[in-house]
Structures are given as C-alpha cells and as structure tokens.
Amino acid sequence: MAKVTATPVSTLVDEPVHIRVTGLKPFQVVCLQASLRDEKGNLFASKAYYRASEVGEVDLEQDPSLGGDYMGVHPMGLFWSLKPEKLLSRLAKKDVTIPYEVHIELREPHFPIKGVVVSPPMDSLTLERWYVAPDVTRIQVKEGRLRGALFLPPGEGPFPGVVDLFGSTGGLVEFRASLLASHGFAAFALAYWAYDDLPSHLEKIDLEYFEEGVKFLLRHPKVLGPGVGVVSVCKGAEVGLSMAINLKQIKATVLINGPNFVTSDPHVYHDQVDQPVPCNIEFVTTNALGLAEFYRAFEETANKDSKYCFPIEKAQGHFLFVVGEDDKNLNSKVHAHQATAQLIQSGKKNWTLLSYPGAGHLIEPPYAPLCSASRIPYVIPSISWGGDVILHAAAQEHSWKEIQKFLKKHLLPDMSSQL
C-alpha cells in the first residue's frame, strides 16, 4: 500500500525534513504535493514528480524530481518552491508562536484541468513548521521610544545579543529574530516605522533611536556584553551599516542585499545629517511580466562615485556581506564590492563577502519559498526581487549557517585568549 512518511513531523522551519514514499509499483511515477495556508488564508502550493525505484520506493534525499516546481535532487524542494495561488503574495509569518501546517499529499500524476474530478490522494500527512524552538521566550518591548519584540533562548544565559532589522515593508517582522533565538542568540526584532505609535511614514532614520535599542539590549541581564550584533536586510541593512559606523557597541554586522549609502530618507545622529543620494527613477525598467526592477536607479550616482557612500572604514566591528547576484531591486553586488573596496583601501580586513549567483533580493532563512516579485505598500507597479528558485534556495541554506558562525565568532568571548 502506498505510503508517504516525513521525519521529523514537527521541526523548526529552518531544519530539514526527510520525505520518503514506499509501497509503490516498481518504477511507478507519482506526484508529491505540498500546501499550506498563511495567516490570511492564502494558499501556497508546490508539486514534484518522482519515479519509484525497482522496489517501489522514493527517497527525496537521493532521487531526482522529474518535473513540477523543481527538477533534480532537492530534499526540501517542496518547501522552497511553494507558490502563492494569489499572485504576487509573499509568505511572511506574523505570529511566530503558532506553527505553519504543511500538508504533504501523494497522488497519481495528473494535470489539473477545470471540471475534471481529481481522485483523492493515495496518502497524506501534515507537518508542523515552527519559528520558535520550545522554551524560547518572547517579550513584547515598549520601553521609552522602542517598539519591538525580544526573543530569549531558554536557560540562564547570558546570550550574545543581536538587533534584527527588516526593510521597506515596515511594521514588526519577527520571524528571523525568533529563529536566531532558537539557535542561542538574544534577538531583538526592532520596528522603526508603521508599527504601534511609531511614524506611519519613514521620514528620517534617527540613529539615536537605534542606539536606544542597542543600549536596551545590553542592559538586559540575559544579554552578554560588551557589544552586540546586527542582522539586517535591504533598507534595514542601510540602517545596520549606519549603526556599525556610528555606534561603538556594534561588534558584528550582517548586511544582506543592502545599499552602502543613504537611499531615500536622511540619517540623523546628534548634529550629523547624511542626506539621501540622488536617484534616477528614469532608469527603472519593467520586465516581460510588467514587474518593476529598481536596481539601476543609482547607476549614475552612488554606483559611480564613492563620495556618496558611507565611510565604512570608520566602523570598528566586523562585517558579513550577503549578496544575491540576481537581485533586481538593488544592485547589491556593486554596492557590496564598493564597500569592501573602501575597506581594502583603508587597509582593513574586518569583512567577509558571500556572493551568491542566482540568488535574489529576499534572502531569508533556509527553505523559505522564493518570492521573486510582490506588491509593497504605496508602490505601483509590483516589484521584481529576482532569484532563480534552485540557486536562491541553496544561497539561503549556506548563508544562514555562515551568519550564525559569524555572529558567534565575533560576539562570544574568544576562549583561546584565556589560556
């Protein structure tokens, strides 16, 4: 009798699952389908076709998918190739305390045609995918001006502290911080606009607000000092870089697909004001599907002249640049190379650059579905983020491990110095 198994059944969302099928006829071709509903009820689905071995089994860790949403040997392909039924939707968990339920179905191969009745699956199962490990604590933060959520690992600690910043979607995005806490970091998801009583529109980046966030983190009894790290993406990485330069408590900064200059709103720190770099909207292009590609907008300004760029050589901590070479929203590869060139010129070696061919803008923890285009508030047309589904998945897996290694290396005390 045909059966599909997946282990473990309940895991963290950044951990792999081993999927197998047994009880098929020799060389039988079957279809494996995955689906989940997000918190708004939107359906995300994927499928792949496999041919059973001569003993009627399929093992996703060894067997190639013949077609569907991905081809080749990809044990987690059903997860990272999930696609929204409602076009241009992005999968982004809001309530990290509740898992996603992923349904896996084993079916006969079929091509869905309207009006044709599909026979029931041969077998199915449901997996839980969590954004928090058991006993991770979530603390809503509303202190002074700060608005966000602090995630603490279980135990006494103290734990290395990390400020987690997202980008142009605004609001409070918690899912990466909760995962970092599940791996031993005290992670502070910090909102800076469009959340609670924070400004609804971003008019300036007030670095004193982020300094308050860093000090709050360092004051916490379970946070290991004397410095903290920053994990930041897109506009968050613009802020992260600015923090690393101006705030001496920042020891390790992860910059994912970020600009090395001020893009749209001035950065203010005490008396210092950094104005945005002029951009040329006329260089924005639209791809064959009508999605806007913004990555050429700074071609004539920031890309050409480093006078526009942040003085990254003034930063005292370490940097990890994570670049998706197929980023269609920002010319991430050029920005990162410019920043590292500045560091090289100043004789500094405090950086690592990880550049991933085929990866797009939205590099997230492993197994997150590739979102290659979506709508964001206030912007029409919809935005292309780029990314080839298979290469993007590989970049997510590799970079997440590297990010954690990097943070631990620079935030945990060096044991060898204590001999």
Partner 1 sequence: MIQVIASPSNALADEPVSIRATGLPPSQTVTIKATLKDEKENVFQSKAFYKANEAGEVDLERASALGGDYVGVHPMGLFWSLKPRKVFQRLLKRDVMNSPFVITLDLYDSVCLQDSVTIKPKASQIVQRWFAGPGVQRKQIREGRVRGALFLPPGEGPFPGIIDLFGIIGGLVEFRASLLASHGFAVLALAYFAYDDLPDKLLEIDLEYFEEAANFLLAHPKIQQPGIGVISTSKGAEIGLAMACYLKQVVATVCINGSSAILDFPLRYRDLVVTAIPRAQERIQVHASGAVRFRSFIDDPWNKLNPHSILPVEKAQGWILFIVGENDESLDSKACAQRAMDQLHSHGRSSGRMLAYPGAGHLIEPPYAPCCFASWNSGLPNPVLWGGDPMAHAAAQEHSWREIQKFFRQHLPQSRSKL
Residues that bind partner 1 (CB under 8 A): 29, 31, 46-47, 49-51, 66-69, 71, 81, 83-84, 87, 109-114, 280-286, 288-290, 292, 296, 370, 372-373, 379-381, 387-389
Nearby residues of 31 by Cβ (< 8 Å), 6 or more positions away:
47, 48, 49, 50, 68, 106, 107, 108, 109, 110
Least CB distance from residue 54 to partner 1, whole Å? Answer: 17
Rounded to whole angstroms, what are the CA distances from 396 to 14, 23, 194, 256?
10, 34, 27, 11
Whose Cβ is closer to partner 1: residue 66's or residue 353's?
A: 66
Residues marked active site are found at 234, 327, 361
Q: Which is nearer to partner 1, 264 or 285 (CB)?
A: 285
Question: Concatenated DSSP letters for 25-46?
Answer: PTT-EEEEEEEEE-TT--EEEE
HEC per residue, 9-28 = CEEECCCCCEEEEECCCCCC
Q: What is the DSSP letter of 171?
A: S
Closer residue to partner 1 in complex, CB, 194/284: 284
| Shortest Cβ 304–partner 1 spacing (Å) | 15
Q: How far is the CB of 27 from partner 1 (least distance, A)?
A: 12
CB closer to partner 1 out of 281 and 415: 281
| 255/395 with CB nearer partner 1 | 395
To partner 1, the closest distance from the beta carbon of 337 in angstroms equals 23
Task: Provide the minimum distance between the beta carbon of 117 and partner 1 in the complex, in angstroms, as a whole number.
Answer: 14
Structure letter (DSSP) for residue 350: -
Instruction: Residue 16: name the closest of 127, 163, 168, 139 by CA.
Output: 127
Strands 100-107 and 123-130: antiparallel
